[in-house]
């Protein structure tokens, strides 16, 4: 069986217009592998929302990385989490080929 390594999985829900900014911040923190996924809609503190194609909608940024890179990203974007309605969750995951993350 392949050896497993523990890494951090980040999922960030962000307004679509901020996706390039978030990708740039992730790369500056050393996170070079990520995926940005479109969303259909959801519900949060401010009520229901849908991606109607008019206001830009929201997306989900997903990355698997080391704890050090995760912490650096949080330091970089932390002050903006509340003002831009960014939702971030973090989980421990097991990956194969841990050196890539």
* Tens digits of pLDDT across the chain (101 residues): 788 999 999 999 998 989 999 999 999 999 999 999 999 988 887 788 888 777 678 999 999 999 999 999 999 998 887 777 788 999 999 989 877 77
Asked if 31 and 63 count as a contact pair (C-beta separation under 8 A), the reply is yes
What are the residue ranges spanned by the domains of the chain?
4-96
Beta bridge partners of 40: none
CATH code for 4-96? 3.30.70.120
For 10, other C-beta atoms within 10 Å of its C-beta total 21
C-alpha 28/C-alpha 71 separation (Å) is 12
Radius of gyration of the chain measured on its C-alpha atoms: 15
| Cα–Cα nearest to 12, from 76, 95, 96 | 76
C-alpha 72/C-alpha 30 separation (Å) is 8
C-alpha 50/C-alpha 58 separation (Å) is 8
Question: Can you give the pTM of this predicted structure?
Answer: 0.88
């Amino acid at each position: 069986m392949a050896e497993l390594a523990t890494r951090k999985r980040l999922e960030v829900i962000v307004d679509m217009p901020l996706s390039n900014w978030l990708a740039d911040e992730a790369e500056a923190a050393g996170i070079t592998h990520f995926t940005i996924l479109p969303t259909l809609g959801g519900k949060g503190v401010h009520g229901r929302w849908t991606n109607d194609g008019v206001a830009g909608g929201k997306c989900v940024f997903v990355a698997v990385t080391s704890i050090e890179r995760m912490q650096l990203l949080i330091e970089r974007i932390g002050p903006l989490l509340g003002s831009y309605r960014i939702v971030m969750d973090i989980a421990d995951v097991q990956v194969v080929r841990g050196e890539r993350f």
